[in-house]
Amino acid sequence: MKKFYFFTLFTTFWLVQQYAVAQKASTITHQTGLKAGLNLSRWAEGGNGQSYPVYSYRLFNSNVPGLQIGVWHQFTLSKKMAVATELYFATKGRSFNYILNDEDKSHQERTLGLTLPVLLCYQLVPKLSIKAGPAVNYMLTKTITFDLLRSLLYISSWDISAMAGLSYQLNNRWSTDLRYEYGFGNMLNHEPPGYKKIQNRSLQLSVQYQLGR
């Protein structure tokens, strides 16, 4: 986690420097638009420690489908490099079945949150780019359908993640993105000490529309 923070800080300073160079050379162009898409998310165990007791009885951990909608802004640093920032609503969560006391149980946790990524974009070939960078997530609402006795307060409100994926330019206004999100924070903030973190994982597919010219 500390290495990720250091990398994010280093990348931020580098982007500021590149922005200043591009601004001085008058090569910066700005684009703004809308985006919408789908998520497939789950929560996975990560870090050191032992598994939470319930998970040893888990039958399957299925992906939870969700939606995302928001806005984006992008400015160029050079012919091949750009920086994209986004702000969008996204629904995420997890769902699994398990056996407890010889009974089949089900559990689902969903969140609606705001996601703010800052992505470095590099054009691999014409129309195809790679995007990667950090993101901050804030949970606005939390919903649980459960047989487990867990309070909504046990779900963290904040999460830090890394994103990486590909973007394909369909035409002058439309593009599509496919990316993977890897969360670093513990989604359950009241777990007993010594247990593994429960972290967000999300596969995202979206379309983007450029406003203006």
Task: At 139, list the tokens.
Answer: 């949970």
Phi and psi (nearest 5°) for 182? -120, 110
Find the CATH number of the domain harbouring 194.
2.40.160.20
- pLDDT lower than 70: segments of the chain: 1-27, 46-61, 97-106, 144-154, 190-196, 213
CB atoms within 10 A of CB 188: 16
Taking a C-beta distance cutoff of 8 angstroms, is the pair 33, 71 a contact? yes
Q: Which amino acid is at 150?
A: R
Phi and psi (nearest 5°) for 31? -135, 140
pLDDT at 55: 47
Taking a C-beta distance cutoff of 8 angstroms, is the pair 203, 68 a contact? no
Q: What is the pLDDT of residues 115-143, one digit of tens each?
A: 999 999 999 999 999 999 999 999 888 77
Total domains present in the chain: 1
pLDDT at 186: 82
Q: How big is the chain, counted in residues?
A: 213
Kindly provide the b/e burial profile for residues 39-63, where b requires at least 16 CB atoms within 10 angstroms of the residue's own CB: bebbbeebeeeeeeeeeeeeeebee
With CA atoms as reference, report the closest residue to 206 among 70, 24, 26: 70
The pTM (predicted TM-score) of the whole model is 0.76
- Structural domain including 23 reads 2-210
Task: At 124, list the tokens.
Answer: 């691999």
